[in-house]
Structure 1
Amino acid sequence: MSASYVEHRPHASSEHVPTSHYVIVVDGKESDPFPTQQKAKEAACASKHHPVHVARVRHLQDRAQPAHWRVDPC
């Protein structure tokens, strides 16, 4: 399966906007919302997405920068 990315929502230009939920992004399409990053990661692993990339840094969602992501060993 395709690589997946666990990202926070809403996207914001300010660090002071709180995260309301997390989504799984695969091939540019977003999943339904998850209340925690852990639940989103578990759902991506259960769906057999590989690799599962989880955001390290909240307000930097640039998928082209490997340092912004950690690969989860599902």
Structure 2
Amino acid sequence: MSAAYVEHRPISSSKDTLTDHHVVIVNGASVGGEFSTQLAAKNYACKEGYHPVHVARERHLQNRDIPDHWRKDPC
């Protein structure tokens, strides 16, 4: 299956913007709805069989092209 990325929302460049929820991104689209925690989103992605699952470090800028932005979850 495709790789999954767990990201926080809303996306903002402001450090004052708080995380409202998390999403699972697969092939550029959000799947599975909104999750209140990274753990819930990660568990959903693992349960659905996505591999690998990359969890974003809680930062404000999202960039899937920068490897150190992500930590790979072992599921």
User: What range is the shorter-chain TM-score in?
Assistant: over 0.9
> Aligned residue for 2:56?
55
> Aligned residue for 1:7?
7
> Aligned residue for 1:36?
37
The 2-side partners of 1:72 and 1:62 are apart by 17
> Aligned residue for 1:64?
65
Identity value in percent: 57
Query: Any conservation in 1 of the 2:11–2:61 contact (CA below 8 Å)?
Result: no
Q: How many residues align?
A: 74
For residue 13 of structure 1, give the secondary structure of its aligned residue in structure 2.
Answer: coil
For residue 33 of structure 1, give the secondary structure of its aligned residue in structure 2.
Answer: strand
Q: Give RMSD over aligned pairs.
A: 0.8
Q: How high is the TM-score relative to the length of structure 1? A: 0.96
Tell me which protein shows more strand as a share of its residues.
Answer: 2
Unaligned runs of 5+ in 2: none
- What is the CA distance between 1:60 and its match in structure 2? 2.6
Runs of 4+ in 1 over 3 A off after TM superposition: none
Q: How high is the TM-score relative to the length of structure 2? A: 0.95
